[in-house]
Structure 1
Amino acid sequence: MSGIAGVNQPGKEHTVKKMLKKISHRGNAGWKVKKIENATLGIVYTESQKKSLSRLMQKNEASDGGGSGHLALAKAKENGIILKRDPLGVAPLYYGKDGEGTLCFASEVKALIDFCSDVKLVPPGCKSDGEQVTSYYELEKKEPLKIKPEIIAKHLRHLIKSAIERKTDQAAELGCWLSGGLDSSAMASLSSANGHKLYTFAVGLEGSPDLEFAQAVAQFIDSEHYEVVVNFNNFRSVLPEVIYHLESFDALLVRSSIVNYIVAQKASEYVNEVLSGEGGDELFAGYHYLKRLPPEELEDELIDITKRLHNTALQRVDRSASAHGTVAHVCFLDPEVVDYALRIPAEYKIRDNVEKWILRVAFDGMLPEQVLNRKKSKFWEGAGVGELMSDYADSTITDDDFRRERILKNGWIINSKEELFYYRIFREQFGELENLSWMGRTKGISAME
């Protein structure tokens, strides 16, 4: 993922360079700072996002773009900088004001906290001038399709395939983070069918379900497959890096990011671009708790959890990829796919108590049967992480320490010893920040099952 940073004032090259240095991992192909009449803009960019450089030089725009539905943009105009973020928040974007009240912006919080005391995020589907935030897009329910499910499934598969083609049309080689679940397997299958030289990557403990299912998919689609077999010590040793890049201490988010970070690191050894199956559970009802909802409440809940992706799961995807200088494409969240998914009737998303039923119909024959019918497993669960991190935290943090430290300065309450364990690492790296309004927290912590 490219990284952007800037200040709404000319002559701030030194400051912008410092900001870019903090996020230099986001761009391994080069960097550029441009001074213009009323602002200073900068970018770091990946090999596959070199268009960002020409956009900066020709249009005075700092951008992190990864195809349709992936954009963080800062455009310098006569009356100041305008910030814009894509509809669902695939690309991150934050802003704040320095001690002189000047607007600053960046792709990650770590680039701003040395200069701004009150960091905020640009919400998905919004624009901001640093003073006012205005919405240009709202995720909302649509009129349901009134056609046969077989026709819906066929067109859905076509839209996802087209999204992959648009986002990866310049990539001769492509990778896929492959958990062996339905979503990532669907991405790998379609990418293989598109004719890419495809590499797939899986991570897990020895004998974990993800490794087994991912291997089955790789053999079925004939990808060049790589496994990373890990143990608890690997998880523990990489944790400070994960939290530094993730910029969060949310327990479930960190836990899943450990696995994602490791598989992203492996993928970066072979490819510059990868596919992620993120968004499938939210659009097509993949979580088990959704089965307990009354059918008439399902669509509202799916919209709610999709809106929450930007500073939770999508943040994990972005930071895991960008930490290693790669670009992750989330093709389920392509605007055309999202628009169509919102029109699919709820009864086709959960049918006969089967979650993501319509997606399984769409990929019937394109995946091994055991994968097509695999039940939802959390990213960290299928890799075998399970309660390892929770048990470790319980053994190292006393009850007295937990009671004493669990209430933060901003009033937030730490939910578990595991989360406190992560917060301590976060605090070592970023200090005891009072403003955490930009940080997301997993909905209901334990509800998303």
Structure 2
Amino acid sequence: MCGIVAVHDPVSATGPDLDLGRAMLDRIGHRGPDGRGERAVGPTWLGHVRLAIVDLDAGDQPLGPADDHWAVVNGEIYNHRELRTVSGLHFASATDSDSEAALAAAVAGDLEALADLRGMYAFVVAHPDGRVTAVRDPLGVKPLYWARVDGATYFASELVAFDPAMRTRVEEFPPGHRWTPEEGLVRFRSLHVPSTQITDRDAALTQIRETLITAVRRRMMADVPVGVFLSGGLDSSLVAAIMASFADEVPGPVHSFAAGTAGSSDLIAARRVAEHLGLEHHERVYDADEVVSVLPDVVASIESYEPSLVRSAVPNYLLAEATAPVVKVVLTGEGADELFAGYAHFRDIVDAPDLREALIDGVSGLHNLNLQRCDRVTMAHGLEARVPFLDRDLVGLAGRLPIEWLLPGELGQEKAILREAFTGWLPDDLLWRPKEQFGDGSGTADVMLERAAELAPEDDWADQRVSRLAAPRSREELAYQRMFADHLAGIDQRVLGRFATA
């Protein structure tokens, strides 16, 4: 996990602007506290800040020379060892870094080679003949932004990296695409692939359980201790239970981390789960004053002002801050609600095709919402978050389930089929605990509502508007917009798209 910057300038007689590239990299230094590297390759400059997790000694970047091809990679390729032996890709470098699989796939130039990469990634490769390749994973788990200005193309992991003068030109790089100057954007893998529906419910329960177990074990790959963000809800508790069952596969004990206001339901439930599983548990308890004081940092880190995203980001941010000194990698429960219809608003959709479409839209839009929040609040503290529910196989499996199996069961409980699949893995009262939004269960939402008037006290808040941003929908949103504008001068609503207004 890292931060990357690239400048590709084939038109300037003096080559890429190294000082500009270095300034961009400075702005995202928080993403890589363990190292920094750069390399100029013809018309391309590559910059990288590293969070060392795999191949600690030899995994520095830019990665190369692979026959003089060089790469900067952000993310993890979970099947890199398999690809070394069965893919036919040429691994020219002499490291054990998982990022070599990304470099090898880009050098091959084959869309199928990119499609075979399993993991979360965004990377840029500079080729010896002056070409450049940029790639982002199909779900957009890892961020990538770009701007094209006067014949040059700039890439970075976060919006803040870009010089204020070019921020009106910044766009989100689309998930599941490869870009080269010669071919432009080309999709290399679709997120949702039509396939045969499962008809045997017992078989489905087995497949759900086995697929999630495999996804969690893949994401336990690390040369450093790992942990889990544990809210006490179903999704993170299942991840924790699987990690506890395979604890011998990671260095040291499995650590769990929970956050909330004193006495909040999340803290109580997480404590019980951790005790049941024998995890090494850590808590971050905070009060209303801490929530309000940290808000500008939270809004700046998530690069969004959407109120529900901010509310859920506050406990995540404080939790990541407390987690980073203990471990470098955490697994989370992101994505389960989109796959298995966990949100309350899905209950209002009575037509099966409409619900299916809503679930597809939910998964497809995660890169602008919860995945953005998850990446930013963790990387603000040099911490890597991994999302096993969004494993390719589990996303595909969820799409094969009959839609009626995703509706509340006899107990009226959301995600009933996921709960059934893991019967016996947790005490029943925890396995069937009703869902709460993270901001609610942690007690943060109550604090935010209480203090909203202090955040934007003007009586005429509805007439207020921050330049370039959408009209605020509430006093709370106006306050976050002002914090956002202080951090990202020049960013407009066109650049933000739906991830600021969903």
Q: TM-score, normalised by structure 2?
A: 0.83
Which of the residues 146, 154, 175 maps onto 1:95?
Answer: 146
Q: Percent identity?
A: 33
How many angstroms does 1:49 deviate by? 4.8
Identify the residue that residue 176 of structure 2 maps to in structure 1: 125
Identify the residue that residue 150 of structure 1 maps to in structure 2: 202
Identify the residue that residue 61 of structure 1 maps to in structure 2: 71
Which of the residues 230, 245, 255 maps onto 1:178?
Answer: 230
Identify the residue that residue 192 of structure 1 maps to in structure 2: 244
Identify the residue that residue 303 of structure 1 maps to in structure 2: 360
Change (3 A) 1:32 1:396: closer
Contact 1:56-1:62 within 8 A present in 2 as well: no
Identify the residue that residue 447 of structure 1 maps to in structure 2: none
**Cα deviation per residue 1:17-61 (whole Å; 9 max; x = unaligned)?**
211111111112101101111200111111115546263543311
How many angstroms does 1:201 deviate by? 0.5
Which of the residues 301, 317, 325 maps onto 1:269?
Answer: 325
Contact 1:66-1:327 within 8 A present in 2 as well: no
**Greater relative contact order: 1 or 2 (C-alpha under 8 angstroms, separation 6 or more)?**
1
Amino acid across the alignment from 2:147: G
CA distance in 1, matches of 2:161, 2:346: 38
Which of the residues 370, 380, 383 maps onto 2:429?
Answer: 370
Identify the residue that residue 487 of structure 2 maps to in structure 1: 429
How many angstroms does 1:418 deviate by? 0.5
Contact 2:302-2:372 within 8 A present in 1 as well: yes
How many angstroms does 1:432 deviate by? 4.9
Contact 1:2-1:49 within 8 A present in 2 as well: no
CA distance in 2, matches of 1:31, 1:419: 36
How many angstroms does 1:214 deviate by? 0.3
Contact 1:390-1:417 within 8 A present in 2 as well: no
Change (3 A) 1:49 1:6: farther
1:42-441 pair list within 5 angstroms: 42-49=47-54, 51=59, 53=61, 55-58=63-66, 59-67=69-77, 68-77=118-127, 78=129, 80-98=131-149, 100-114=150-164, 116-117=166-167, 118-129=169-180, 132-140=184-192, 142-171=194-223, 173-195=225-247, 196=250, 197-294=253-350, 295-350=352-407, 351-352=409-410, 353-398=412-457, 400-406=459-465, 408-410=466-468, 412-434=470-492, 436-441=494-499
Q: TM-score, normalised by structure 1?
A: 0.93
Contact 1:173-1:198 within 8 A present in 2 as well: yes
Contact 2:340-2:398 within 8 A present in 1 as well: yes
How many angstroms does 1:157 deviate by? 1.7
**Paired residue secondary structure (2:453):** helix
How many angstroms does 1:399 deviate by? 5.2
Contact 1:171-1:273 within 8 A present in 2 as well: no
Contact 2:257-2:283 within 8 A present in 1 as well: yes
CA distance in 1, matches of 2:22, 2:46: 10
Amino acid across the alignment from 2:7: V
Contact 2:455-2:476 within 8 A present in 1 as well: no
How many angstroms does 1:113 deviate by? 3.4
CA distance in 1, matches of 2:449, 2:221: 42
Amino acid across the alignment from 1:103: T
Change (3 A) 1:390 1:129: farther
Change (3 A) 1:325 1:57: farther
CA distance in 2, matches of 1:443, 1:366: 38
Structure 1 vs Structure 2 CA RMSD: 2.1
**Cα deviation per residue 1:62-93 (whole Å; 9 max; x = unaligned)?**
11122323010112244643221101100000
Structure 1 alignment gaps of length 5 or more: 445-449
CA distance in 2, matches of 1:108, 1:225: 31
Structure 2 alignment gaps of length 5 or more: 10-14, 78-117
CA distance in 2, matches of 1:306, 1:159: 18
Q: Tell me whether 193-202 or 391-400 shows the greater mean CA deviation.
A: 391-400
Contact 2:256-2:282 within 8 A present in 1 as well: yes
How many angstroms does 1:129 deviate by? 4.0
Identify the residue that residue 29 of structure 1 maps to in structure 2: 34
**Cα deviation per residue 1:286-308 (whole Å; 9 max; x = unaligned)?**
01121221233221110001111
CA distance in 2, matches of 1:318, 1:33: 23
How many angstroms does 1:354 deviate by? 2.6
Q: Tell me whether 4-13 or 187-196 shows the greater mean CA deviation.
A: 4-13
**Cα deviation per residue 1:132-182 (whole Å; 9 max; x = unaligned)?**
433233333633533432221222221222122222223452110100010
CA distance in 1, matches of 2:323, 2:201: 36
**Paired residue secondary structure (1:202):** strand
Q: How many residues were matched structurally?
A: 442
Q: Tell me whether 234-243 or 304-313 shows the greater mean CA deviation.
A: 234-243
Contact 1:216-1:368 within 8 A present in 2 as well: no
CA distance in 2, matches of 1:23, 1:233: 28
Q: Tell me whether 266-275 or 235-244 shows the greater mean CA deviation.
A: 235-244
